[in-house]
Structure 1
């Protein structure tokens, strides 16, 4: 058990030290410190919370919900037009792909099988002979 915990710690440290994780964390900081990106993100969060509040109200007003939803969609569009936020989304996607591949490798080694979640996926198949290696 101790060896497993030590290897898990090593894996966690390798993930934290990976270029993929480091780029994501740097971009998160850049977004927080950029006035335009931070404002776009804050506005989107505020609009989403308003929609959620309306949805959870016992006397939900359909017109109010429609207007709040429209405002949230506009805020989301503005947020998605921000280059820094688009870059952050790409880095988060890259990190998620890396973590999915780590999980697939663990599943392959432990069970001998790779569960196909999306047949159209281009992630790690577990067969290293058909790719250029893990990133």
Structure 2
């Protein structure tokens, strides 16, 4: 099997994986749910306000209010089943992709990648 065939087979396996399917189903549910869309949009708007406020030297009290509201919105996103399922599905898919990349890297470089369990050699927690 050449590398094109191997990559094609890997792509098919990823597409058929439980992680990809769960993420896609959760994303579809998110797109079809009005409350989930509203929560996501509110969160993004608050993030932008915080970024612009920080950049434009907004009053610290006002920035703190925006930050508090953003944290509350994050809590709502994490507690609402539709958005929680989306975030969990996305995280599961990303974890699978990191594992695949680590395996490929191992076969190319001989390095096992990932975490060796020691903070001394760590490039940062994921």
- Normalized against structure 1, the TM-score is what? 0.75
State the match for 1:114 in structure 2: 112
Tell me how far 1:118 sits from its aligned partner.
6.0
* 1:71 equivalent in alignment to 2:69: yes
Say which SS state the counterpart of residue 113 (structure 1) adopts. coil
> In the superposition, relative to structure 1, how do residues 6 and 55 fare at CA in structure 2: closer, same or farther (>3 Å)?
farther
Tell me how far 1:114 sits from its aligned partner.
0.5
1:1-16 → structure 2 map (5 Å cutoff): 3-16=2-15
Which segments of structure 1 move beyond 6 Å, counting only runs of 4 or more?
none
State the match for 1:131 in structure 2: none
1:19-58 → structure 2 map (5 Å cutoff): 19-57=18-56
* In structure 1, C-alpha distance between the alignment counterparts of 2:114 and 2:103, rounded to whole Å: 12
In the alignment, structure 2 segments of 5+ residues that lack a partner are: 119-126
2:84 aligned residue (75, 79, 86): 86
Between 1 and 2, higher relative CO (CA 8 Å, sep ≥ 6) is seen in 2
Alignment length (residue pairs): 117
* In structure 1, C-alpha distance between the alignment counterparts of 2:17 and 2:54, rounded to whole Å: 40
Tell me how far 1:66 sits from its aligned partner.
0.9
State the match for 2:121 in structure 1: none
In the alignment, structure 1 segments of 5+ residues that lack a partner are: 121-135
Tell me how far 1:12 sits from its aligned partner.
2.5
> In the superposition, relative to structure 1, how do residues 118 and 83 fare at CA in structure 2: closer, same or farther (>3 Å)?
farther
State the match for 1:61 in structure 2: 59
